[in-house]
Structure 1
Amino acid sequence: MTTVPSSVPQQSAGTSLIRSVLTSPRGAIVVTFLLLLVLVCALAPVIAPFDPLEQHLSAVRSGPSGSYWLGTDSLGRDLLSRLLHGGRGSLSGVLEAVLALLVVALPAGLLAGYLGGTFDRIMMRVAEVVMSVPVIIILLAVLSIFDHSMTSAMIAFGVLGSSGLMRVIRGAALTAREQLYVTAAELMGLSRLQVVARHVLPRCRGVIIVQASLFAAVTLGVQTGLTFLSLGPPPPAPTWGGMVADAASVFNQDAWMLVPPGVTIALTVLAFGVLGDVVRDANAEKHAAAPRPRRRRRKGAPAAPGAGEPVPEDGALLSVRDLSVTTDDEQALTLLDGVGFAIGPGETVGLVGESGSGKTMTARAVMGLLPRNCRISSGAVVFDGKPIQGLDQRAFRELRGRRIAMIAQEPMAALDPSFRIGSLVAEVVRAVDGLRGKAAQARVIELLRLVEIPEPEEAARRFPHQISGGMAQRVAIAMALAGRPELLIADEPTTALDVTVQAEILDLLRSLQQENHMAILLVTHDWGVVADVCAKVVVMYAGQVVETARAADVFETPAHPYTRALLLSSPEHAVAGERIQAIPGTVPSPRHWPTGCRFASRCEFARPACTEGVIPVERISEGRVSRCVRVNVLLGQEARR
């Protein structure tokens, strides 16, 4: 009996980033220097040999000695003591500025990049206004109003500098939100806050640390300049800028006084800059390290068509009714045009067509995850008898990952490379079941075992780049099954896998469906997959459904020229030594959809009537329709074959 581990690893790739920084020579040096500097300055009241204001008139401007390790200034005050005490104010000022910078820029940049739309436009206009403000004038005003309070000045400096960082974070978030694993997290029912915190923020972590490090260096320089001009704490309070000012006044008599504060300031600024470079390099290496899965072409003959009668729409679990999707651009494009089909409880339906036919767009419309510039312009999506296209995001999250789940097209890309497998699955378990601690850990192992992953405890400890494409697909299926969905949408679940692994995944889906009586919408272009597992087929072309029928009928007598051409172009029908019967031309883009039948320019059965007007959907028999005016000719020819 396999025991459940005491903990499913929750360690993210953030730990590996820190390890990469610390194991590099430059990173180890600058981190050690900064930590040591912070430590000695924090302990200044304990370790400083003298009070920073204590004067030793008998040792004015003396050099380094056993009594005064770094010498004294023009009033006989110990330079080492003043340097340590002054460092407390300088470093705390840098920390205050950086914290103010992050508090403002981090949430604003992340939400602007992830949410987009009106919020993004407002944030960008605010950032532009703030960037136009003269910083030095604002700082002088703050110091005047708040009685030379360097804390107030540094907080103001951080807020004023946040607009630049916000724009950088927004750019990184815009890129991160297009990643497939972000979409996969949304499909699993995670809230926007959870998606941003768990998947968008880690992707932006590198640029945030780099920019914060550089800002810290700039802040130290600004703060030193202000105290040099006596705009900060008034003398004789110890400050690094004040020490430089004192040294400058007697530079011709004693140049040494400039060395301790000058070297300390220079090394600290340099350390912040180098730290930013080290983090940038480590972050780039981490993201480049994960290999991409190789796409392999599937070969093999289709198995016998699946059995099953088409389900009437009134008894359907999912019903897509005359669905149209358009863009919100000035020149609105119709991407889906009157799409309609139904899926019954426990039924497997194949959604078939070439790339660009609208298969994935249809699946995303069902999930309520259309691209941000697209909307449902007409029609309805009805799940379990209730329309769902008008639901808000909160209501959709109650469906996603629980009653409806989706497996994304690229299994490896759908897994966030920043987290271990166990952490990714546990995240979904917490979202859909509310489980925590050992209960969540046990459920993770149960799900990994359910999808037949060998040694699930060991697999949970691995990162996505450490597993194969087939295992990644099984992990994606496990995440989709966490909420025990009634409908599973599988978008090209076997495309990136070799033929042996494809067969295993299909067998797994079939067995899971039988065990859980789960309906499956299988988005694919592979007829072998359709023949293996599907009871019904919906064929799409150029944003329209052109044929719907039982899988057995489609393979025996296709009722649309496009379906027939797809079957003939399948590699399984190729004859040795002869060319595959490829379909001439390409799927037209939404900008150039022709009048009438959209397949007419590629169809051998086309006649002038095919391009003269809208082609209606013709009912051939119970549960079977075709969008073709010459369907009788096609069926007659197929019957004679």
Structure 2
Amino acid sequence: MTVALLPVATAPTARRDNTWLRVLRRPLGAVSLVFLALLVLAVAAAPLIAPYGPLTQDLQATFAGPSAQHLLGTDNLGRDILSRLLHGGQVSLLGVAYAVAVLLIGGVPTGLVAGYHRGRIDAVVVRVTDVVLAIPVIITLLVVLATFGQNEVAAMITFGLLGTPGMIRVVRAATIAIRADLYLTAARVAGLSTTQIIRRHVLPRVAGPIIVRAFLFAGAALLTESGLAFLGLGVQEPEPSWGGMVASASIYINQHPSLLIPAGVTIALTVLAFGLVGDAVRDAIGGRHLRYAGSARPAPHPVDSGTDEETPSALLSVRGLSVGFPGETGFTTVVNDVSFEVRAGETVGLVGESGCGKSVTARAVLGLLASGGAVTTGRCWFDGEDLRITGRNRCADIRGSQVGLISQEPSASLDPNLTVGRQLAEIVRRHRTVSRSQARVEALDLLQKVQMPEPVAVAGRYPHELSGGMAQRVCIAAALAGRPRLLIADEPTTALDVTVQAEILDLLRHLQETTGMAILLVTHDWGVVADLCHRAVVMYAGQVVESTEVEPMFRRPLHPYTDGLLKSNPHRVVVGERLPAIAGTVPPPHEWPRGCHFHPRCPLAGPDCMETAVPIFEPTPGRLTRCLHHDRLAVGARHA
């Protein structure tokens, strides 16, 4: 259900297709749904609409054919078949309801938790479901019926329990398939709890498979209930049930085969309708969603103690950070001994080619590493608080309320199931104690702060209805919802055209001026660094190779990699001359060379660069470089 952001008189009409209306637009789905609805209503109203009682006999009208008095005829005892069919449906459909209820209550939450959390919880759930799936269903049902005295309710509850592993597998697989989507990471960064994420963002995406499985299982449950009644193991005569009516008719199949038709056709049509409605609902829900490629699933990380101390004046202080991931060659370090700080109100650029470890470093600070990733050494402080000893709940509180994240894939960061306004209002309510109506007002205010044209109209739209620039503004608004003191922007302009890039950069500058927040900007664009950043931290092959204020770095870089990047900037090349480029590519982590990681591509490399790891030097106060020959580069810059 979508919540309007303004009263109906002022809010524009947004497109919100009701799932069941979409089902009704499909002929087979519409017919099946109407059939089931009428069947349930008729069965529920059996005491009111049945022409006779289910046990009323007329021995003078046995085996009578259809007539005005008996629309479907009578059975061997002159009982009205239509009346028994209606009353028997109460028994059969109630048994189906018991089984499906147990299936949903036991299977859906378990599958969601196992698929979302993985790890030990998932392993235990998988083992238990494997064991339960090995249990023979029919034998178990017979044991239950023998134990509980042919209690059909107990049998159908047992049938639901035995079907739960199948539902768990379906839900778990669907959850695993979407848990890597970037909008779930964005929800965690916004500070939403795990329960909120699963209930509001994961469950709607896996609703299609759940509904399909539930309807198909309902058909199987009806066949099982009817089969037990046919065998005389369910409701006993003279009480009616659909399976019992088939059993009674089978005795006289040679003389009166038409007795099988009412109950048999009703069972067949109902089972068929269950399947067709499930397919139609799946298609209706699936057609409403867009699929987005996402990043890997975020996971908590352990942080080992370090020896370096925080910078007291820094809002964010990172010291000796190393991050690793499991791979084919073992546990591989992808970020090695990274240190930097971000002061309140300043913008720091994390710069380098793709594959240098910039995004991994930023996500490690937030505790949002992909599955299997872990911080192996180092410490992080935020506003003096040591994140090494901070509990998971506190880290979740810091994300969104203290630290916000803007992703390089704006559309993938938004939940395709919810309107823009509803998503923003959800984040506002997570961080502030406000009413729903006030949260909707705050959502509009956020859209206005990011200079969104027609904020009321945009609030009622779904993410797929937004352009790239609009989606990025919405992501910025979401990051601002918790009023963070630090904003981590991971390539915020990569997917945008030049004009929109300039607008987003101007917006970030304006927001920083008005709110005073700090920005950690992950980018490979030196133009963005020059335009927005106060200081820059250059990374290469998982290491910081240079760090200083932006102006001195542009004027006189002290690392060959920084120098090569700046020289390869097309804006600094003389027209008609060949564009300089750094030879080679960034090596993958498992192929990092011995000694200086950059020496295979470095024009200044000597034998000493290949022997041991190069430490960080501080040639002048505030200037850091990881180069043994930075003095030669500085001399060359002065003579240039």
TM-score (norm 2): 0.93
CA distance in 1, matches of 2:565, 2:46: 78
Map of 1:319 onto structure 2: 317
Return closer, same or farther for 1:137/1:85 CA change in 2, 3 Å cut-off: same
| Contact 1:318/1:344 (<8 A) preserved | yes
Q: Secondary structure at the match of 1:63?
A: coil
Write the mapping of 1:411-430 to structure 2, written as runs, cut at 5 A: 411-430=410-429
CA–CA distance in 2 between the matches of 1:387 and 1:577?
53
Once residues 229 and 293 of structure 2 are traced to their aligned partners in structure 1, the CA distance between those partners, rounded to angstroms, is 53
**Distance 1:53-1:317 versus aligned 2 partners, 3 A rule:** same
Question: Conserved in 1, the CA contact under 8 Å of 2:211 and 2:278?
Answer: yes
Aligned residue in 2 for 1:570: 569
Question: CA 1:374–1:18 in 2, change beyond 3 Å: closer, same or farther?
Answer: same
CA distance in 1, matches of 2:630, 2:28: 72
**Distance change (3 Å), C-alpha of 1:257 and 1:10:** farther
> Would you say the 8 A contact 1:9–1:423 is kept in 2?
no
Query: Deviation of residue 235 (structure 1)?
Result: 0.9
CA positional deviation for 1:482: 1.1
Aligned partners of 2:450 and 2:476 also within 8 Å: yes
* Distance in 2 of aligned mates of 1:361 and 1:292: 18
Question: Aligned residue for 2:304?
Answer: none
- Work out which of the residue numbers 170, 178, 193 in structure 2 matches 1:191: 193
- What amino acid does structure 2 have at the position aligned with 1:58? Q
Q: Which has the higher contact order (CA 8 A, sep 6+)?
A: 1
Equivalent residue runs for 1:492-571 within 5 Å:
492-571=491-570
Alignment pair present for 1:169 and 2:175: no
User: Is 1:12–1:418's contact at 8 Å kept on the other side of the alignment?
Assistant: no
Give the percent of matched residue pairs that are identical in Structure 1 and Structure 2.
Answer: 51
What residue in structure 2 maps to residue 249 of structure 1? 251
* Bigger shift: residues 541-550 or 383-392: 383-392
Which one of 25, 49, 52 corresponds to residue 51 of structure 2? 49
Residue 523 of structure 1, CA deviation: 0.6
- 1:64 maps onto 2:66 in alignment: yes
* Displacement of 1:14: 9.0
Picking from 19, 31, 34, the partner of 1:32 is 34
After superposition, the Cα gap between the structure-2 partners of 1:608 and 1:16, relative to the gap in structure 1 and judged at 3 Å, is farther
1:12 deviates by 11
What residue number does 2:617 align with? Answer: 618
Match of 1:224 in 2: 226
After superposition, the C-alpha distances for 1:435-470 in whole angstroms (9 at most, x for unaligned) are 222211111111111111122111111111111111
Structure 2 vs 1, CA of residues 137 and 234 (structure 1 numbering), >3 Å: closer, same or farther?
A: same
Q: CA deviation at 1:292?
A: 9.2
Conserved? CA contact 1:14–1:418, under 8 Å: no
1:3-402 map, 5 Å: 5-6=6-7, 16-288=18-290, 313-327=311-325, 331-402=330-401
Deviates more, 1:166-175 or 1:530-539: 166-175
Bigger drift between 271-280 and 155-164 goes to 271-280
Gap regions ≥5 residues in structure 1: 294-311
Q: What CA distance in whole angstroms lies between the structure 2 residues aligned with 1:364 and 1:74?
A: 75
SS in 1 for 2:345: coil
Distance in 1 of aligned mates of 2:34 and 2:567: 67
SS at match of 2:426: helix
- Rounded to whole Å, the distance in 1 between the matches of 2:557 and 2:221 is 71
Cα distance 1:401–1:489, how it changes in 2: closer, same or farther (>3 A)?
Answer: same
User: Post-superposition shift, 1:380?
Assistant: 0.4
Tell me: CA distance 1:282–1:72, structure 2 relative to 1, closer, same or farther (3 Å): same
AA in 2 matched with 1:155: I
Q: Aligned letter for 2:289?
A: H
Q: Are 1:319 and 1:341, in contact at CA under 8 Å, matched by a contact in 2?
A: yes
Shift of 1:16: 4.0
The answer (yes or no) to whether the contact 2:14–2:461 under 8 Å persists in 1 is: no
C-alpha separation in 2, matches of 1:11 and 1:159: 44
Q: Retained in 1: the 8 A contact 2:55–2:79?
A: yes
Amino acid corresponding to residue 520 of structure 1 in structure 2: I
Deviation at 1:326, TM superposition (A): 2.1
One-letter amino acid of the counterpart of residue 317, structure 2: S
Judging changes above 3 Å, is the alpha-carbon distance between structure 1 residues 93 and 628 closer, same or farther for their aligned structure 2 residues?
same
1:637 aligns with 2:639: no
Aligned partner of residue 605 in structure 2, secondary structure: coil
Structure 2 residue matching 1:332: 3-state secondary structure: strand
Q: Is the 8 A contact 2:5 2:459 kept in 1?
A: no
**8 Å CA contact retained: 2:12, 2:456:** no
Structure 2 CA distance, aligned partners of 1:333 and 1:156? 48
Question: How far apart, CA to CA, are the structure 1 residues paired with 2:570 and 2:122?
Answer: 47
**Aligned equivalents of 1:492, 1:384: Cα separation in 2:** 24
Residue ranges of structure 2 left out of the alignment (5+ in a row): 295-309
Give the count of matched residue pairs.
620
> In the superposition, relative to structure 1, how do residues 174 and 421 fare at CA in structure 2: closer, same or farther (>3 Å)?
same
Taking only aligned residues, the RMSD between alpha carbons, in angstroms, comes to: 2.2
What is the identity, as a one-letter code, of the residue corresponding to 1:151? V
In structure 2, what is the Cα distance between the partners aligned to 1:150 and 1:596?
74
- The one-letter amino acid of 1:187's match is V
Question: Residues 124 and 467 of structure 1: is their aligned pair in 2 closer, same or farther, counting only changes over 3 Å?
Answer: same
- Give 1:284 deviation, angstroms: 3.3
CA contact (8 A) 2:58 2:79 kept: yes
Read off the aligned partner of 2:220 and give its amino acid letter.
Answer: V
Give, in whole Å, the separation in 2 of the partners of 1:12 and 1:247: 55
Question: Contact between 1:368 and 1:389, CA under 8 Å: does it hold in 2?
Answer: no
Residue 359 and residue 46 in structure 1: after superposition, are their counterparts in 2 closer, same or farther (change >3 A)? same
Secondary structure class of the residue paired with 2:78: coil
Q: 1:283 to 1:474 in 2, by over 3 A?
A: same
| 1:41 shift after superposition | 0.3
**Residue range with higher mean Cα deviation, 192-201 or 270-279:** 270-279
**Residue 430 of structure 2: aligned partner:** 431
